[in-house]
Amino acid sequence: MAHLNEWGQSIGPVVPGWAPPPAPSRTLLVGRSCRVEPLEPERHGAELFEAYASDADARRWTYLSYGPFERLEDHAAWLRDFCSTGDPLFFAVVSAKTGKAVGIASYMRIIPPSGSLEIGHLNFSTRLQRTPQATEALYLMLKHAFGLGYRRIEWKCDALNAPSRAAAERLGFSFEGIFRQATVSKGRSRDTAWFAIIDTEWHALERAFTTWLEPGNFDAAGVQQTRLSELTARERQRRS
Using DSSP, state whether 143 is helix, strand or coil: helix
Q: Which of 37, 32, 27, 38 is nearest to 209 (CA)?
A: 32
Q: How far is CA 87 from CA 54, 80, 112, in A?
A: 29, 14, 12
pLDDT in tens, 152-207: 999 999 999 999 999 999 999 999 999 999 999 999 999 999 999 999 999 999 99
In the chain, count of helices (H) and strands (E)?
A: 6, 8
What letter would DSSP give residue 61? Answer: G
Angle at 12 between CA 11 and CA 18, to 5 degrees: 135
Q: Looking at residue 57, what is its pLDDT?
A: 87
* β-sheet bridge partners, residue 38: 91
**Mean pLDDT along residues 212-233:** 93
Instruction: Give which of 88, 104, 98, 87 is closest to 39, Cα–Cα.
Output: 104
Quote the percentage of the chain above a pLDDT of 70.
Answer: 99
The mean pLDDT value for 93-115 works out to 97
Split at pLDDT 50, 70, 90, the class of 222 is confident
- Give yes or no for residue 239 having a pLDDT over 90: no
User: Is it the case that residue 87 has pLDDT exceeding 90?
Assistant: yes
Q: Provide the pLDDT for residue 238.
A: 76
| Domains by residue range for the chain, with CATH | 29-239 (3.40.630.30)
What's the pLDDT score for residue 28? 98
pLDDT in tens, 186-198: 999 999 999 999 9
Task: Give the pLDDT score at 240.
Answer: 64
Is the pLDDT assigned to residue 19 strictly greater than 80?
A: yes
Residue 17 has pLDDT above 80, yes or no: yes
Instruction: Dump pLDDT digits (tens) for 42-83.
Output: 999 999 999 999 888 889 999 999 999 999 999 999 999 999
Nearest to 63 by CA among 199, 186, 176, 155: 186
pLDDT of residue 2: 81
Please list, in sequence order, all residues whose beta carbon lies within 8 angstroms of the beta carbon of residue 237, skipping any fewer than 6 positions away. Answer: none
Cβ neighbours of 78 (radius 10 Å)? 15
